[in-house]
Structure 1
Amino acid sequence: MKSQKILLIAFLSLITLASCSDDDNNPLPVNEEEVITTLEVTLTNGTTTVTLLSTDLDGDGPNDPVVSVSGNFEKGMTYDGVLKLLNETESPAENITEEVEEEALDHQFFYSTTNSIATFAYSDEDTDGNPIGIEFKMTASADAGNGKVTFTLRHEPNKNASGVKDGDITNAAGETDIEVTFDVVVE
């Protein structure tokens, strides 16, 4: 009888140990969403630089972002654009653009306008040949006017969905990390 109890305890112990899994000791790392307080867009055409800047130091807090545009665009001109993302809740400010570049397969910027004020073309790509959008070209409308330009960063978009590679956000899915709209003038 005593040996049967020992065998039963050994058998139950073996079942208990076999049901335990090693993956409890090695949980998958959580890729936390980036804190982005500032979006700076620098556009140059060789002689003129226009800077679009949005700063929101309290995030979803009660204060609205401070949004500014340093000048107007020249009609018909093409500008080289570069986006910079910062987390200014840290000191010194953390450059989130570097993190987006490192995780390029999981990020893409999208650009949209009102009043056909400008067109955009991607100038950079991830290792799969899909656009990232940190670097781009913007061509101002051939006609003078005003409108809005919106920059949207998507986390984990479906880069293989219809139109996404060409900058159409409609089928992109994913989550929006930041979206900022600027009022611009073409003269």
Structure 2
Amino acid sequence: MRTTVSKLTALFLFAIGLTACSSDDDNPQVINEEETITTVRLTVLEDGATTPEVYTWTESSQDAISLSADTTYNFKIEFLDASDPNDVEDITEEVIAEKDEHFVFYETTVSGLTFTSASDDTIDSDNIGINISTDWSSSGTTAGIVRAFLIHEPTSKTGDSRDDFGGETDIEVTFDVAVQ
């Protein structure tokens, strides 16, 4: 009987050990919820101008961008959650706060249109601009599209196509662009 009681006690203690808190509880997993982005706004200032133009993308409408040939522009991109029009949330602030985990990539079919990180762009800890503020230079007259990607946790911040960056796409938007 003494052996049976000892075995039962050992089994009971073993069961308690299995249900005790695990070491995972000491390091809870941080959950970074994906933000809702309903609106992307581009504020554009032509080199030498004082009044900006604003272009907006939503799921239901996209403004067409009109640029002049042989001109440089500063573009600032904003990501907004306007699902409650009375309480619009600026997601751009979070993107900037998490600059090491974000990157904005632009691709285009507009011949002669180039993008570079602007002097006032947000810089990550590797000294790379994340393209919240970019300079666009146009040459020639042409038309096409510009596609902007907000990339979360890119594996690289250099490349020529979206596939070069890895990570997840938080949002992808397309604007029609005409250079005249």
Please, what TM-score do these two structures have when normalized by structure 1? 0.80
Partner of 2:163: 170
* Correspondence 1:49-88 to 2 at 5 A: 49-56=52-59, 65-69=60-64, 72-88=66-82
4+ aligned runs moved over 4 Å, structure 1:
none
Whole-angstrom CA distance in 1 between matches of 2:112 and 2:143: 7
- Residue 25 of structure 1 and its aligned partner are, at CA, apart by 7.1
Matched, 1:8 2:2: no
Partner of 1:99: 94
Q: Verify the 8 A CA contact 1:130 1:165 in the aligned structure 2.
A: no
Deviations along 1:74-115, one digit per CA (max 9) or x if unpaired, are 211111111111001134111110111122222111101113
Whole-angstrom CA distance in 2 between matches of 1:138 and 1:115: 12
Q: Cα gap change, 1:100/1:77 in structure 2, threshold over 3 Å: closer, same or farther?
A: same
Q: Cα gap change, 1:117/1:178 in structure 2, threshold over 3 Å: closer, same or farther?
A: farther
Q: Cα gap change, 1:17/1:154 in structure 2, threshold over 3 Å: closer, same or farther?
A: same
What count of residue pairs does the alignment treat as equivalent?
Answer: 172
Whole-angstrom CA distance in 1 between matches of 2:113 and 2:125: 28
Stretches of structure 2 that go unaligned for 5 or more consecutive residues are none
Stretches of structure 1 that go unaligned for 5 or more consecutive residues are 57-64
Find the partner of 2:137 among 139, 144, 163.
139
* Correspondence 1:16-27 to 2 at 5 A: 16-19=15-18, 20=20, 21-24=22-25, 27=28
- Residue 130 of structure 1 and its aligned partner are, at CA, apart by 2.9
Find the partner of 1:112 among 104, 107, 124.
107
Please, what TM-score do these two structures have when normalized by structure 2? 0.83
Question: Alignment identity in percent?
Answer: 35
